[in-house]
Amino acid sequence: MELDSKRVLLVHPLGYDPKLALRDISRLANVMPPLGLASLAAYLESKGFRADIIDGFAVPDSDAAIAAHLREFRPAVLGLTSTTSSFADAVRIARRAKEELPGITTVFGGPHVSALRERILQENAAVDLVVVGEGEEPLEQILSGQPLSSIPGLVLREAGVVRFTGFQKGIEDLDRLPFPAYDKLAGYPDAYRLPIFNYPRAPNASCISSRGCPYACSYCDRSVFRRGFRYNSAAYLHAHLVHLKDRYGIRHVNFYDDQFTFNRERVVEFCERMMDRPLGMTFNCAVRAEHVDLALLKLMKKAGCWEVSLGIETGDPELLARHRQNTDLDLLARRIREIKSCGIRTKGLLMMGLPGESEASIRRSMQYVFNLPIDDINLAKFTPFPGSPIYERIHEYGTFDEDPAKMDCMHFQFVPHGLTRERLDVLFLQFYKAHFRRPQTAWNFLTMIWKSPDSYRRFFLGLGPFLAFARSNQRIGK
């Protein structure tokens, strides 16, 4: 029985044993829909193909569903996206798919494979093709039967030799893309949850309105979108929110853009549209201090902005200057105070364990953060990912245990010179505990009882794993 050349199954792997999913603090705190796969599915369907999605995060025990889908629909292509930590699981799924349908073509995409390119095919026989960069046009061309060697952005095997066909240009006008195919995500929107205590109402959703970032920080992987930066228009963005509200009843949106306010005029127009045609929706976004100002913040508040996240990374100025462009901690502090003065929640995004980190720099970060009116923090454990500028020379700055399964920003796989993993774990817990012991933090979370009641419901339902994480600092509770 032949495979269906017009059909593709897109899979988002969980990355670990599904039996552990109910104890995974990361998954309990946040289940983000695979927006990249939803965008791919919508684009391919608009071109006359059939695309389905199985999301291992929403439905952890997905092996049986994948096998059943392959047997029933016999798609010619299996597309898998993965991060570094979930790559091995993606390869396992590809291997099992080839056992089920020997003629199926496995296509991998995402940041990990875009960074490692040829190495992925050289080391993994179950991977037929790698898409480097965004996937819409290459996957359409693959399904259309175009000669693979003529498709930009592919890593393939030719006569036993692995080669890369060269970088693709990417889609310049993002407004010509259809809205993501949310209907392809089983259980949407209820199966997905924004970070706990980071939204006022449910149901809520994630949204991406741009691609790329114009900056080149040492720790960021730019393998998929490289240095380019493109964005949807304000009109498209407002129409997207109308669609989310009318079709799915969404009441709050978190924009996962790296630089939501990079184009000020776009944000002004978007806010004006939100005020001229109120949707009864609120939103979160992430900004850089140099791309926002008090007047814009006031307008964003009127348009429904509920929370703004800023990448602080570290409160040590010398360490920050080693890793990030345009560093100005005084400007950043001023912007945080302005955000708070507008009645918008503030969230600080930080990392611990950067190359050059010391116990003294960690103490300086704590002092910096705790002198600011920050409502919430996200403290990540620095991980040198393939594709980031720091990755190739990371061994110069400390010891690096490159265990892909643990490269999830929740393990100290890299330890800077002068520190130990054990000491970093102690300092990590001290940082978080000191934050939660601040009177303003305690008051802030008390107010979440009426500001974000759904978060408290989730917190009490997952109380055991949350308390286990607070005691052990381990992502997967015992």
pLDDT for res 226: 67
Cα dihedral 394, 433, 259, 29 in deg (nearest 10) = 100
DSSP secondary structure letter of residue 325: S
pLDDT for res 477: 60
What is the domain-level CATH number for residue 242? 3.80.30.20
Half-sphere exposure (CA, 13 Å, Cβ side) for 387? 22
How far is it, in rounded angstroms, from Cα 130 to Cα 111? 11
Residue by residue, DSSP assigns 448-478 as HHHH-HHHHHHHHHTHHHHHHHHHH--SB--
Q: Are residues 349 and 293 in the same domain?
A: yes
Task: State how far the alpha carbon of 54 is from the alpha carbons of 26, 41, 135, 183, 424, in Å.
Answer: 20, 11, 17, 12, 37
Which residue, 70, 71, 265, 338, is CA-closest to 79?
Answer: 70
In angstroms, how far is CA 162 from the centroid of its own chain?
29
Nearby residues of 257 by Cβ (< 8 Å), 6 or more positions away? 208, 209, 210, 231, 285, 286
Q: Are residues 230 and 143 in the same domain?
A: no
Q: Are residues 110 and 206 in the same domain?
A: no
Nearby residues of 260 by Cβ (< 8 Å), 6 or more positions away? 209, 210, 267, 285, 286, 287
Q: Are residues 277 and 207 in the same domain?
A: yes
Single out the residue in 164, 184, 213 at which a domain terminates.
164
171 located within any domain: no
pTM: predicted TM-score of the whole model, two decimal places: 0.95
Q: Are residues 129 and 221 in the same domain?
A: no
359 located within any domain: yes
Q: Are residues 200 and 270 in the same domain?
A: yes
How far is it, in rounded angstroms, from Cα 99 to Cα 162? 23
Which residue, 137, 140, 123, is CA-closest to 5?
Answer: 140
Q: Are residues 222 and 134 in the same domain?
A: no
Q: Find out whether 116 and 132 touch, Cβ atoms under 8 Å.
A: no
pLDDT for res 45: 98
Which residue, 139, 130, 137, 93, is CA-closest to 110?
Answer: 130
Q: Are residues 156 and 203 in the same domain?
A: no
Q: Are residues 203 and 109 in the same domain?
A: no
How buried is residue 391: exposed, middle or buried, by Cβ count under 10 Å (0-12/13-18/19+)? middle
* Structural domains counted in the chain: 2
pLDDT for res 380: 96
175 located within any domain: no
Residue owning tokens 């044993």: 17
How far is it, in rounded angstroms, from Cα 271 to Cα 95? 48
pLDDT for res 338: 98
Consecutive 10-residue runs of the chain (478 residues): their mean pLDDT? 95 93 88 97 98 96 96 98 96 98 97 96 98 96 97 95 94 96 97 96 96 85 76 98 98 95 97 97 96 98 98 96 89 98 97 98 98 96 94 96 95 97 97 95 94 95 85 74
pLDDT for res 310: 96
Range of the domain at 406: 194-472
Q: Find out whether 353 and 424 touch, Cβ atoms under 8 Å.
A: yes
Single out the residue in 164, 180, 214 at which a domain terminates.
164
What is the domain-level CATH number for residue 146? 3.40.50.280
Q: Are residues 146 and 213 in the same domain?
A: no
How far is it, in rounded angstroms, from Cα 277 to Cα 288? 27
Task: State how far the alpha carbon of 51 is from the alpha carbons of 36, 47, 206, 370, in Å.
Answer: 13, 11, 21, 48
Which residue, 100, 11, 26, 104, is CA-closest to 56?
Answer: 11
Q: Are residues 151 and 227 in the same domain?
A: no
189 located within any domain: no
Q: Are residues 277 and 329 in the same domain?
A: yes
Single out the residue in 144, 164, 184 at which a domain terminates.
164
